[in-house]
Amino acid sequence: MTQYVSRLSRRAAQPRLRLPGGGRRPRRVAMLSVHTSPLHQPGTGDAGGMNVYIVELAKRLAAINVEVEIFTRATTGTLPPTVELAPGVLVRHVDAGPYEGLAKEELPAQLCAFTHGVMQAWAGHRPGHYDLVHSHYWLSGHVGWLAAQRWGVPLVHAMHTMAKVKNAALAEGDTPEPAARVIGETQVVDAADRLIANTSGEADELIRHYAADPGKVAVVHPGVNLDLFRVDADRPGLADPRAVPESRAAARHRLGLPQDALVPLFAGRIQPLKAPDVLLHAVAVLLEERPDLRSRLVVPVVGGPSGSGMAQPERLQKLAARLGICDVVWFRPPVGQEQLADWFRAASLLVMPSYSESFGLVAIEAQATGTPVLAARVGGLPVAVRDEVTGFLVDGHDPADYARRLARFADDPSLADRMGAAAARHAQSFGWDTAASGTADVYTAAVQEHRRHVRSHHG
């Protein structure tokens, strides 16, 4: 911690970077992630793409001299108050409510305690310690709104998911988001100086559903760690047509998967919203029509129960048994990022039949490893996946439609290679450096406008 403080003071002594138009990048940002810690394993509980997003964005912001302190709720009593995640990135654990067994739906009652913890940390610093607040998800937005007002700095907010959008596309039997969340989101949208949307589609939803001021909404695509998620082959580059199949063969050998198998992979949180059941039903339809494929079909489901899926953690296993496909489905627990990259490489395709996705980060991660994606045409997935080029987009959630696409991969083994090579090239434009640079530009604009507003108010 001492090293971190000395580095902070050294960096604070540096002149702030001036940008075109006289703007200055903020030196230090308070990033808020109330309901999920950037230190948690993605694919478990409420941890998913947002965790990856916060970790990667914070690291890349620090690399361009924007210090980041991430405030998150402490989930065990053994956690140290602060953890240095990377040079220039500090995670602060805030005590708010019981450490374990608190569902996301119960967190609104802990926002006062969390806000108190954030204010306590701030009180130990000189005035002006944070130049900006960046909150993630609506719960953090409420804390961010209060903190930004108290500190006299702008609030930048990222929704990640929206209640009105989720409720408009609920999976059968899934629980709708409560009215309190809708009201809370509306208040945060109104309070934020800037809103960051993952795609132009999400920007339109903010404006249409939440009456966001179009001038406050900025589109910044999330990125992917291209050093980790990559085609892993001895070939010189993505242009070599042999790179993808070689990478896939090596990954299958490491994971114990048959080399000639058709491997449609599901990787993510097990909950109705992500629709892994659609994949299982599609596999059942495919095998009914094509029983000859059973001997060369392996369907890995990599992830853990989450959200409303926690109520019936064995639901998917029971469905596989009912459909008579237990022999082809491999259930695997969530894995770390490096092993996840190997699962992506090993797969013939990634299947994402989600009912709602603000972006669908795993779609880009899979494509970066040379694996095509079969996805529902929802949310940000049409941006992440180029239909008929890097994978297929399906309208709706009819298992027969997914089964038809799976059959195409079964009948043409070179399809996964061709689409995979195009997918790997497509993913190259989604580096985190680009995302961090775009986010820093949003910060700069928010700080400039906030200062202008303060000056005119006091003028």
Q: Is 137 annotated as a binding residue?
A: yes
Q: Is 357 annotated as a binding residue?
A: yes
Q: Is 150 annotated as a binding residue?
A: no
Q: Is 366 annotated as a binding residue?
A: no
Q: Is 332 annotated as a binding residue?
A: no
Q: Is 217 annotated as a binding residue?
A: no
H, E, C per residue of the chain: CHHHHHHHHHHHHCCCCECHHHCECCCEEEEEECCCCCCCCCCCCCCCHHHHHHHHHHHHHHHCCCEEEEEEECCCCCCCCEEEEECCEEEEEECCCCCCCCCHHHHHHHHHHHHHHHHHHHHCCCCCCCCEEEEEHHHHHHHHHHHHHHHCCCEEEECCCCHHHHHHCCCCCCCCCCHHHHHHHHHHHHHCCEEEECCHHHHHHHHHHHCCCHHHEEECCCCECCCCCCCCCCCCCCCCCCHHHHHHHHHHHHHCCCCCCECEEEECCECHHHCHHHHHHHHHHHHHHCHHHHHHECEEEECCECHHHHHCCCHHHHHHHHHCCCCCEEEECCCCHHHHHHHHHHCCEEEECCCCCCCCHHHHHHHHCCCCEEEECCCCHHHHCCECCCEEEECCCCHHHHHHHHHHHHHCCHHHHHHHHHHHHHHHHHEHHHHHHHHHHHHHHHHHHHHHHHHHHHC
Q: Is 365 annotated as a binding residue?
A: yes
Q: Is 175 annotated as a binding residue?
A: no
| Selection from 368, 371, 169 nearest residue 263 by Cα | 371
Q: Is 425 annotated as a binding residue?
A: no
Q: What's the rounded Cα separation, in Å, for the pair 390 and 427?
A: 10
Cβ atoms within 10 Å, residue 221: 19
Q: Is 42 annotated as a binding residue?
A: yes
Q: Is 104 annotated as a binding residue?
A: yes
β-pairing, 82-86 with 89-94? antiparallel
Q: Is 181 annotated as a binding residue?
A: yes
Q: Is 274 annotated as a binding residue?
A: yes
Q: Is 215 annotated as a binding residue?
A: no
Q: Is 2 annotated as a binding residue?
A: no
Q: What's the rounded Cα separation, in Å, for the pair 11 and 208?
A: 42
Q: What's the rounded Cα separation, in Å, for the pair 151 and 135?
A: 15
Q: Is 347 annotated as a binding residue?
A: yes
Q: Is 59 annotated as a binding residue?
A: no
Residue type, 83: V
Q: Is 294 annotated as a binding residue?
A: no
Q: Is 48 annotated as a binding residue?
A: yes
Cβ atoms within 10 Å, residue 174: 18
Q: Is 269 annotated as a binding residue?
A: yes
Q: Is 130 annotated as a binding residue?
A: no
Binding residues for 1D-myo-inositol 3-phosphate, as ranges, are: 35, 46-51, 104, 137, 161, 181
Binding residues, as ranges, are: 35, 41-42, 46-51, 104, 137, 161, 181, 269, 274, 335, 344-345, 347, 357, 365, 371
Binding residues for UDP-N-acetyl-alpha-D-glucosamine, as ranges, are: 41-42, 49, 269, 274, 335, 357, 365
Binding residues for Mg(2+), as ranges, are: 344-345, 347, 371
